[in-house]
Structure 1
Amino acid sequence: MAFAANTALISSPTLFTPSKFSSSRLYLSVPYKTTKFQLYCKPSSSLPLTSLFCLRKKEKSVLSALSDDFPAVLDEIEGNSGWDVAVEGEEGEGGFVVQPPEEAKVYVGNLPFDVDNGRLGQLFGQAGVVELAEVIYDRITGRSRGFGFVTMATVEEAEKAVELFSRYDMDGRFLTVNIAAPRGSQPERAPREPGHRIYVGNLAWSVDTGRLEELFSEHGAIVSVRVVSDRETGRSRGFGFVEMSTESEMNDAISSLDGEILDGRPIKVNAALERQTRGRF
């Protein structure tokens, strides 16, 4: 028998029918398959634990060998004891616990690095019921990787979330939000819209994404920023990219910061070239 804070879910592996029946109790025949009853308890309930029970059913039938007094028992439990009774169905049985479809999962990119699961879920709660909100963290450093996933209760709510939060300004960063690709699929990428992306080279090893963002934020709104690091060591490779919100802000940042001394090194700042095909570095 297992209990949660406000719920009790009871499942018994076996039921025994006594040889002598009592008119004051409900007895069920031993079946083949368990049906769980989910009982929601109100604080004022006085229902004794002995009244909790588990029904079983055969493969093809809903319930097996119910007593004639069963409806009255349910009425007593629901109406007089302060308990609400709900059957927890299995797959294909119309149960209350339903796994959200894959299409209800949303990818969220360009997250501020201080956003955690709770804050992400709170934001997307404006679009509907959030089943799961998860920010992805680096396994080695424990720092946010700047993206995550949110699973909504329905596909319609996921689509609403995309509509509401695509390009949403969150702490000065514009979110990238779209329906997550199903596992195992390799969807074709849509052609990237021309951006205002800046290449920043000759960075000191001590410069991280936050430091770079702080420097460029003085010249306009930043859409995204990252310092490229080695996949194995996690160490900076000495360059990064910054995307500004407008062309004028991009040009201003380039003209102002090219050759700027940052942590003892003159940085190289110019417009980044869109990579058309993968090639060797």
Structure 2
Amino acid sequence: MSDAQAAPVTENGVPPVAQDKVEEAPGHKVFVGNLAYATTDEGLKALFAPFASDILSAQVILRPVPRGGNTIRSAGYGFVALATAEAAEKAIETLDKKDLDGREVMVQLAKPSEQKEKEKTEDTPVPESGEAAKPKKKKKSKAAKKAAAEGDAAGEDAPAAAEVAAPVTDSEAPAAEGSAKKPRARKPKAPRPPRPAGEDPAGEPSTTMLFVANLGFNVDDAALSALFTEAGINVVSARIVRRRWGQPRKSKGYGFVDVGSEAEQQKAIAALEVCCVIISCHWLF
């Protein structure tokens, strides 16, 4: 049994590759545009039913759906070949702007391939005599941009490095200047109003979380967790609060420990409050 996959067949019974290029049919070809995606060859032929005796072929053009794998659908237009020029002209007069599958179709005399190619050639702009075609600007490589940025900071040595990395043309020279990105200014945060002295924070205290302060700046998450586990306290999580900037980010001298239950929380407060750290319940806001 062969492993080769069968070629996908459209609803019109024609493989999509065969319909990718429209072959010149004998007779007088009529272009039919603004077709619905649901319109098939048979539906197109039904539109030309008054001229059924003159129809040589009726074909809806199919195209693959972008990013649709092997899925294909109507391109929105098709062609009908009629036996005589009189029948083609009569069909255009009769069927133009008629309704088909909910769409107002456009029926016109199809242009021969030679005329299409000639129109494409005529539409292509030709440079005037004595005027040379303008060269396209080359895009700067990442290495050239990086070298230009280093040149702004380092002085005279960087331009030479930029030339070695990627030569820059005269048209690109203005773009190289000022290519270094300016640091974005941070918006100042609105200050939080201080809580009056002696007033409890709003909310309710947590039954599992502990706030631990007065810690050394070298204490990390593991050391904070070890402080509790060595005292026989079950630790779910331990986290040191650190500053947002700096590398590495420095501790702020306090953190939070989750002990999992209210009983473990009270046990931890009783066991460790005599140490140099300050322990209290964490408030939920």
TM-score computed with the length of structure 1 as normaliser: 0.31
Which has more strand, going by share of residues? Answer: 1
Larger Rg: 2
Task: Name whichever structure is richer in helix by fraction.
Answer: 2
